[in-house]
Structure 1
Amino acid sequence: MRWGAAWLAASGTGLGMAQPAAPLVEVWKDPQCGCCNDWIRHLEANGFRVQAFDSGNAGMRQRLGMPQALGSCHTARVGGYVVEGHVPAADIQRLLRERPAALGLSVPRMPVGSPGMDGPEYGNRRDPYDVLLVQRDGSTRVYASYHQTQSAAPAATADRWAEGEVRRIDTAARKITLRHGDIPDLDMPPMTMVFQVRDPALLQGLQPGARVRFRAQKADGAYIVTDIKAAP
C-alpha cells in the first residue's frame, strides 16, 4: 500500500495533487469607475483572480507601453501581456493559450455592449467593436470582432451640454465624479465616471447629489470637465 501511494504521488495522479492557480490580472483604475468594477467582476466570473489598484491608469498605461490612442478607462497586466479596456475574458484566455509575440490586447474607449459596459443602465444598446492585438511597435491587427446590432444613438443637444449628478468631489486632486447621461462630443454613454477639472474654481459651490450641466473633452488620455454649472 505504501508503494502504491508513493507511485501515485510521483506520477502526479494522487487525489491531493495541487491544481494550477487561476491567472492573476493586475488592474489599474480610478476607484470611482463603475464600469471598471463591472469588468473586474466579469473577469472573476470567468476564472481569473484580480488585484485592483485604485491609482488611475494613465501613468501605468504609459509605463507598460500601451499607445495612448488605444487607451480606455483601465489598464491591466496578465501573463506578461498588457490588456487595455473592456476586453472580453474569452479573448484574454485565448491570448494566454496562443502566446503571440505581442504587447497585448486593447478595446479602445468604452464601447457599449462590451464586458462591463453591458449592464441594465445601457438598455439593449450593443455597439460593434474590435479587440485589437497590439504589437510592441504600436501597430495593431484585429484579434476578435463583435459586430452586434447598434441601436440608434440619442440625438445630440444643440448646445452640447451634458447633464448629470455629482457623486463625489476631490478638490485637492481637481477631480469630480459624475453620474451622467450621454455625452455626444465624447461618444460616451450614460455611466458614472471620474473627470479631471480644468479649473478647480469650477468646483466651488458644488455638493454631492447636486444636478449639473457640464461640458467635457478628452485630452492626453484624460476626460476633463471644461465648464460646469447647476442644472436649472
Structure 2
Amino acid sequence: MQKNRILCVLSAFGMLLLIQSCAAQSHLIEDKLKTVSTEQLRYYLYYPEDYENTKKDFGLLLFLHGGGESGGELEELKENGPPKMLVEGKQFPFLVLAPQNPHKKKWWNTTAVMQLLDSVVDSNRVDPKRIYLTGLSRGGSASWEMATQYPDKFAAMAVVCGMAPLPYAHWINKKMPIWVFHGANDKVISVEESDKMVAKLRKMNYKVDYTRYENVGHNAWERAYTTDSLYTWFAKQKR
C-alpha cells in the first residue's frame, strides 16, 4: 500500500538576538525578536504490505532526493531512488518517507524535514530506534547535515554522491553505521568529497562502508539504490 499525503505547514522556531548601536550614545541596546519560518512540504509515505495486518512497530527510511526533483511536481520523485523502485514493484520491510524540496535552487530545509519526520513517526507505528536516512546529490548533502545536527536520531545512514561537512565529521554519532556511494568520474560533486570524509571518519574509528564506482559519473544513485544488500543492511540496524 502506498499513500500520498500533504503536510500543509511546518514551522521552525528560533531566536534572533538584535544588537543596535546609536552614534549619539556610548551604550548598546540589547533586545530579542522571536522569528518564525514556515515550509510547505509534500511527500510520499509508503507502508509495508503487512502494516495493516499486524500491531508491531516498523522501521522507517527517510529518503531525500536530488536537485533534479526539487520544485516540480510530486510525481517527479518517482524518477530515482527508493520511490522509483516502489513504482517498479519493490517491497520494503519498513515505511519509506520521501518529502519533496519545494525550492528548485535552495538547499533542503532540514529543520522542516525533521519536523515532518517526527510527525510521521508520532502518528504511525514506527520504532524510533529503527529510523534510517539516505539521500542522493543535494539530498546526500542534506543527509550529512542531518547526521551532524541530529546525531542521536538515526540508526544508519547511506549517502550517495553528496557534499560532505568534513570539519564537522566528529559531530556524527560514532555508533551509527554509514555507507557511502560515489562515482569516481563525478563532474558535479567531486568524488574527493566522499574520499576525504570516509578517510576522516575511518581515522576516528567510525563504522563506514565505501562503494566507489569506477567509470561512473554523478548518476551513482542508479547503481547504489539497486543494490539489494543496501536494504537488508538497513533493516539489520537498530539504534
Q: TM-score by structure 1 length?
A: 0.27
Higher helix share: 2
Q: Which has the higher contact order (CA 8 A, sep 6+)?
A: 2
